[in-house]
Amino acid sequence: MPTIIAIDGPSASGKGTIARKLAAHFGFAHLDTGLLYRAVGLTVLRSGGDSSDAVLAEKAALALDPVKATSLADDADLRSDEASVAASKVAVVPAVRAALLKFQQDFCAAPPESKRGAVLDGRDIGTIIAPKAQVKIFVTASPEARADRRFKELQARSQRTTYADVLADMKERDARDATRALAPTKPAPDAVILDTTTLNAEQAFAEAVRIAEEKIAR
Ligand code: DC
């Protein structure tokens, strides 16, 4: 059985960077599951539709090529704020979540390139996708710290916005992700909480390695 590391948490908590680095550290495969929802959201937008339209969202999810979508980690359109808002809207649709479930569970059962394990990051990895994961870490940080990181990222990309707008968007998305009926963002009962509010990227990663090594050694 492959070793599974489940990394969940809200946006800009640092979970993506932690997951990628953990995968490299342990020689495991990595799956950024947010890319699946982003690709579905973007498909709906590009078809001229509204990402809150459940029928269009389900159609896009059923037609999605998940291998392709998750290979586009650096795609600017998929990483855009537009895609992230659309992702958060399609993610409330139960039929969308159902359509994306098998790909994620197959990834855990047989990680690509016959790797011994997999690191998945998202919102429902420790609760729904891989409830038996050996390591579960819920990465979080205050909304202000996350908005500050996101604002600096957008500034570096010369995107015009204000900190207040970024914080308001973040809180709106957090509320939608945390209060939806199916698979809301919440820590699994057996997850370790990693609060990165006062940690830099290196410190957060070091802490995640410590947590993971302790669980895997057991
Ligand atoms: O992690 P991210 O910012 O790329 O996620 C984008 C959106 O997708 C997020 O608002 C919620 C949704 N999502 C989800 O519902 N379940 C996942 N496992 C991953 C992402």
Q: Tell me the CATH number at 191.
A: 3.40.50.300
Domain boundary among 61, 87, 114: 114
76 and 170 share one domain: no
pLDDT exceeds cutoff 90 at 199:
yes
CA distances from 150 to 83, 84, 103, 161, 205 (A): 15, 12, 29, 11, 18
Structural domain contains residue 23: no
Q: What average pLDDT does the segment 38-50 reach?
A: 97
Tell how far the Cα of 33 is from the centroid of ligand 1, in angstroms: 7
CA distances from 61 to 57, 87, 147, 193 (A): 6, 11, 29, 31
Which of the four pLDDT bands, split at 50, 70 and 90, describes residue 181? confident
Residue 185, pLDDT score: 85
Between residues 180 and 37, the one the model is more confident about: 37
Rounded Cα gap, residues 112 and 26, in angstroms: 14
Nearest residue (CA) to ligand 1, atom 1: 34
Cα three-residue angle 202-204-206, rounded to 5 degrees: 70
216 and 125 share one domain: yes
Q: What average pLDDT does the segment 18-41 reach?
A: 98
Structural domain contains residue 154: yes
Cα three-residue angle 126-129-3, rounded to 5 degrees: 70
Q: What average pLDDT does the segment 192-205 reach?
A: 96
Quick check: 37 and 91 in contact, CB under 8 A? yes
- 111-135: string of b/e by CB count within 10 Å (b at 16+)? beeebebbbbbbbbbbbbbbeebbb
User: What percent of the chain is predicted at pLDDT more than 90?
Assistant: 83
1 and 72 share one domain: no
Rounded Cα gap, residues 59 and 38, in angstroms: 14
Tell how far the Cα of 96 is from the centroid of ligand 1, in angstroms: 12
pLDDT exceeds cutoff 80 at 169:
yes
Tell how far the Cα of 91 is from the centroid of ligand 1, in angstroms: 7
Quick check: 27 and 73 in contact, CB under 8 A? no
Which of the four pLDDT bands, split at 50, 70 and 90, describes residue 58? very high
Domain boundary among 91, 114, 137: 114
Residues 10-27 pLDDT 10s: 989 999 999 999 999 999
Least confident segment among 80-84, 121-125, 201-205? 80-84
Tell how far the Cα of 185 is from the centroid of ligand 1, in angstroms: 9
Task: Count how many Cα atoms sit within 13 Å of the Cα of residue 211 in the half-sphere of its side chain.
Answer: 24
- Rounded to the nearest integer, the mean pLDDT of the chain is 95
Structural domain contains residue 58: yes
Structural domain contains residue 19: no
**Into how many domains does the chain fold?**
2
Domain boundary among 114, 134, 163: 114
pLDDT exceeds cutoff 80 at 218:
no
pLDDT exceeds cutoff 90 at 40:
yes
Q: Is 177 in the pocket of ligand 1 (CB under 6 A)?
A: yes
182 and 152 share one domain: yes
Q: Is 126 in the pocket of ligand 1 (CB under 6 A)?
A: no
Nearest residue (CA) to ligand 1, atom 16: 123
**Structural domain containing residue 188:** 1-14+120-218
103 and 169 share one domain: no
Which of the four pLDDT bands, split at 50, 70 and 90, describes residue 94? very high
Residue 31, pLDDT score: 98
Q: Is 34 in the pocket of ligand 1 (CB under 6 A)?
A: yes
Residue 154, pLDDT score: 86
Nearest residue (CA) to ligand 1, atom 3: 11
Q: Is 103 in the pocket of ligand 1 (CB under 6 A)?
A: no
